[in-house]
Amino acid sequence: MTENTDKLDNQNTADVNSAQTNANNALPNEQDNAAIDAFFASSAPKSPANFKAGYVAIVGRPNVGKSTLMNHLLGQKLSITSRKPQTTRHRIHGILSNDEMQAVFVDTPGIHRNEVRAINERMNKAAVSALVDVDLVLFVVDSDQWRDDDLLTLQKLGDTDLTVVLVINKADTLKDKGAILPLIETFNDSFDFADIVPVSALKSQNLDRLQEVIASHLPIADPIYDTEQITDRSERFLASEIVREKIMRSAGDEVPYDLTVQIDEFKDEPAHKDPKTGRPRKACTFIDATIYVERDGQKAIVIGEKGQRIKQVGIDARQDMEQLFGKKVMLTLWVKVKRGWSDDERALTSLGY
């Protein structure tokens, strides 16, 4: 396997970071604190007697809006989304807690037809295994585009005795709202759904109703996770997903969906006095990440003209991380060419799949 490494000239990004450090040397202000609290807040259950809790799998064809749905149900961004299908490769737990229930969401990459490449096989396994031991399945379809692939997933669900709620997403795209009625009839004929809920994940329409429906199908149980918690994923993992999303969004169709971001270093430095100047320094997390691509051409695209793209990716990713983690972040990005890694089982394992 050929490997070709380049450390990026991230000087400009670093400059932006240190400029911010100096500007924000004081403790977080009230506004910051409120924003951080809002990020991590969730209401604690008051009446545990009838409390409902369980696992909810979100399944459906790529691009129907599963990640968007989970993010908007949670009111914040955990799973990455993009217009490019198959941006989600991992199971992601998002946790929604309110006074009545706790729903632990499993976001799946969808079930693919072509199990050709090693990476796709693993994705399929993740999608199917996501359905084991869940209490409820949200089967998501695009209200405008019903395809054979949807049926494929539905067939798999038919072999189980899972409770399935049909979520008809992207209702906002329908010019004629009445068009949804024959659609509902068609779905009802092909599967015995526990409920059918049209929503717009993107515009957060009818998500309250969906939450009620979810709660009604969950078993009475104690919360599975701490109700303050929003995900069981590590900050490390979230950091890699954020970098990946920024590249996908920026480079669009020019890079394959199977590029991978590995976090090489994730180091929390507590607030301290600068030994040289004696000035107080805020707590900061140092993150080094390597972006793996398959070809030199892809590397050039990720880096961009005069490093402009990677610089912007670094800035955008750092901002998201700071908002999500509620602390200062210094991010260094590297790009490496690792030819043919997505077909190489061993390489996949070493990258954590």
Give bridge partners of residue 268 from the DSSP assignment.
285
Part in contact with ligand GDP (CB under 6 A); list of ranges 21-29, 83-91, 126-134, 277-285: 83-91
CB of 209 to ligand GDP, least distance (A): 14
Provide the minimum distance between the beta carbon of 193 and Mg ion in the complex, in angstroms, as a whole number: 22
Which of residues 17 and 67 has its CB atom nearest to ligand GDP in the complex? 67
Residue with CB nearest ligand GDP? 65
State the Cα–Cα distance between residues 258 and 253, nearest whole angstrom. Answer: 12
Number of residues engaging Mg ion in binding (CB under 5 A): 3
Nearer to Mg ion (CB atom), residue 78 or residue 313: 78
Tokens 């807690």 belong to 97
Pick one of 10, 13, 17, 67: the residue that binds Mg ion (CB under 5 A). 67
**In sequence order, what DSSP letters do the residues of 64-112 get, joined into one string?**
SSHHHHHHHHHTS--S---SSTT---S-EEEEEE-SSEEEEEEE-----
Residue 124 sits in the site that holds ligand GDP (CB under 6 A)? no
Q: Which of 9, 15, 37, 172 binds ligand GDP (CB under 6 A)?
A: 172
Select the span of 98-106, 116-124, 166-174, 277-285 touching ligand GDP (CB under 6 A): 166-174
- Residue 13 binds ligand GDP (CB under 6 A): no
Q: Which 46-65 residues touch ligand GDP, going by CB under 6 A?
A: 60, 62-65
User: Residue 224's binding partner, choosing from Mg ion, ligand GDP, none, with beta-carbon cut-off 5 to 8 A by kind?
Assistant: none
Q: Where are the alpha helices (DSSP H) in the chain?
A: 11-23, 30-40, 66-74, 118-129, 148-158, 180-190, 207-217, 235-251, 296-303, 308-325, 345-350
290: contact with Mg ion by CB under 5 A: no
Kindly state whether residue 108 participates in binding Mg ion, applying the rule CB under 5 A: no
Whether 63 and 257 have beta carbons less than 8 Å apart is answered as no
Partners of 293 in the beta sheet?
Answer: 337
From residue 261, give the alpha-carbon distance in Å to each of 51, 232, 334, 337.
39, 19, 9, 12
Site residues (CB under 5 A) for Mg ion? 66-67, 88
